[in-house]
Amino acid sequence: MFQGQIAVRLASMAGASSQNFFEGTEKLLEVWFTGGSEGSDLRDVKQESWEKLLRVVRCEIISKTSNADMDAYVLSESSMFVTQSRFILKTCGRTTLLLAVEPLMELVQEQCGFKKVLDVFYSRKKFSKPEQQHTIHQSFDEEIAHLDKMFKRAKLGLFSDGAAYTLGRINKDCWHLYTMDAVGVMEPDQTVELLMWEMCPDTMQIFTKKLCQDGQEATKKSGICDIIPGVQIDDFLFDPCGYSMNGLLPGGYYITIHVTPEPHCSYVSFESNVPQENYMELMEKVLNTFKPGKFLMTVFANKESIAKDNHKRLEDKDYVPGYTRTDHQFCTFKNYNLTYSHFTRPII
């Protein structure tokens, strides 16, 4: 089954025709649980149960790495992270992530005893080819309707309405977010994402079997290993091309990077929850590593996080080395601040 799933991914990634287009843009789901006993822990879920859940999503586990705070899984389509009370699933391609929401709730209650959902975050960039997605993911409106239906059920333990947002230009590049209209998470929490496209062809060659033998070589040759020093890295290089990595740090912190290198659909995502007062230096490291033509950056931090005022560092950043900002939005809701910025290389 695992080899079959990889073959499906490789078939969609190979070639340069429109019928072989691969949607690198990920769907990202984060769920925080509560209401369990003192010893309730999502990491107690058996791997075969995660594998069964991921079959609903149409992806599989390639490898797993762990530290004292988190289990991280590299998937055939992106990544999954599990801590004591938080579940993160990030999937690309034509995966059906939202079909896993209801079985996830049932699984967590059955194996861990968590009776309630504390908070939910679902987000994604606008798809390049939404018509190629499963019907549930072809529009954000469909996704909203499905999430509203799931989380209005009393058996899932939520008693607040969903709230949906779109940031950026809806007729061009934009970013969607669905969350719960409640205070939710009160411990320090932050996430920074850089979603990049129109990638440098020379850089993308690193993430092919023509130039590198395995993930470890691609990680070193690209400079990914230097973005955040000291990270415990689990990486994978697909055949003939494509790359995924998870990196863990003590304290429940992670980074994850995914690369779709083909010129006709090149795309790279970087995501981390490492807390920083100012993400500008990290952003520049990522940009220098991948050299995209365009990128969007989101910084999501609650009032308990040291990153809560990061938006102030970004307000006057109309220009970063090599890029001009074309959009910038700031939102404050629930217990979180959210900053969205879109940058592009000037045409010379």
In this structure, are residues 148 and 163 in contact, taking their beta carbons and an 8 Å threshold?
Answer: no
Distance, in Å, from the CA atom of 48 to the CA atom of 105, rounded to the nearest integer, reads 16
Cis before 240? omega within 30: yes
Catalytic residue among 92, 112, 212, 265: 92
Catalytic residue among 146, 176, 258, 311: 258
Shortest CA distance to 95 belongs to which of 59, 62, 140, 132?
59
30: left (phi over 0), alpha (psi -120 to 50) or beta: beta
Distance, in Å, from the CA atom of 268 to the CA atom of 287, rounded to the nearest integer, reads 11
Calculate Rg over the CA atoms of the chain: 19
Q: Which residue has the tokens 């949906």?
A: 164
Distance, in Å, from the CA atom of 42 to the CA atom of 36, rounded to the nearest integer, reads 10
Distance, in Å, from the CA atom of 92 to the CA atom of 268, rounded to the nearest integer, reads 11
In this structure, are residues 254 and 248 in contact, taking their beta carbons and an 8 Å threshold?
Answer: yes
Catalytic residue among 40, 85, 222, 244: 244
3-state class (DSSP) for residue 92: coil
Catalytic residue among 12, 23, 59, 76: 23
Is there a catalytic annotation at residue 342?
A: no
Cα angle at 252 between 338 and 255, to 5 degrees? 65
Rounded (10°) angle between helices 140-151 and 101-112 = 30
Is there a catalytic annotation at residue 311?
A: no
In this structure, are residues 245 and 236 in contact, taking their beta carbons and an 8 Å threshold?
Answer: yes
Catalytic residue among 26, 60, 143, 262: 26
Catalytic residue among 40, 76, 78, 123: 78
Single-letter amino acid code for the residue at 137: H
Is there a catalytic annotation at residue 78?
A: yes
Distance, in Å, from the CA atom of 290 to the CA atom of 337, rounded to the nearest integer, reads 27
CA atoms within 13 A on the CB side of 79: 30
Is there a catalytic annotation at residue 26?
A: yes
Task: Give the residue numbers annotated as catalytic, written as ranges.
Answer: 23, 26, 78, 92, 244, 258
